[in-house]
Structure 1
Amino acid sequence: MPSGSQAQAEVQRLRDQITQMQASTVEQIAEVQRKYEELQQQLRANAAAREATAAAMAAEQNKKYDELQLQLQHMMKMFQQSQKPPS
């Protein structure tokens, strides 16, 4: 049977171990939280980049559409002029 001082020493050792485990747990939680926030920022940045790319592609498609419309109008005018009888 351990003496009173041995029991007190064991209790103190266990308390110290609990304190160390608590500190380690707090550090781990802080690290997980930091990584989570980092990933959230990365996801926001990726979403913004995708939106910018989509907007640029839409602008390019609109530009091409407008150019094709102008070409079609020009061709229609040329066709209409070719259908008029010479004066």
Structure 2
Amino acid sequence: MPSGSQAQAEVQRLKDQIAQMQASIVEQIAEVQIKYEELHEQLRADAAAREAAVAVKEAAAAVREVEAAAMAAEQSRKYDELQLQL
């Protein structure tokens, strides 16, 4: 049977071990929080990049529509000129 001082030493050893485990857990939680924030920021950046890509595609489509309308107007003007010459 352990003596009182041995029991106290064992209790202190276990308390120290618990304190070390708690410190380790706190450190791990901090690391997880940092990683979470990094991933969250990356998700926001990815979403912004997707939105920008959609905006670029929409702008390109609008430019093509304007170009097509301009080409149609030019062809119509040329047709009208030819009609007048006849």
Q: What secondary structure sits across from 1:2 in the alignment?
A: coil
Q: Deviations over 1:50-80 (max 9, x none)?
A: 1112111211111111001110111123234
The answer for the alignment partner of 1:56 in structure 2 is 56
CA–CA distance in 1 between the matches of 2:32 and 2:74?
Answer: 63
Give the CA deviation at 1:85: 7.0
AA in 2 matched with 1:82? L
Kindly tell me the number of residue pairs found equivalent between the two proteins: 86
Q: State TM-score, norm by structure 1.
A: 0.88
- 2:47 is aligned with 1:47: yes
The answer for the alignment partner of 1:14 in structure 2 is 14
AA in 2 matched with 1:31? E
CA–CA distance in 2 between the matches of 1:40 and 1:20?
Answer: 30
AA in 1 matched with 2:82? S
Q: Percent of aligned pairs with the same residue?
A: 57
AA in 1 matched with 2:35? K
Root mean square deviation of aligned Cα: 1.5
AA in 1 matched with 2:10? E
Give the CA deviation at 1:11: 0.2
Select between 73-82 and 57-66 the one with higher mean Cα deviation: 73-82
Select between 31-40 and 50-59 the one with higher mean Cα deviation: 50-59
Query: Which 5+ residue runs of structure 1 have no aligned equivalent?
Result: none
The answer for the alignment partner of 1:37 in structure 2 is 37
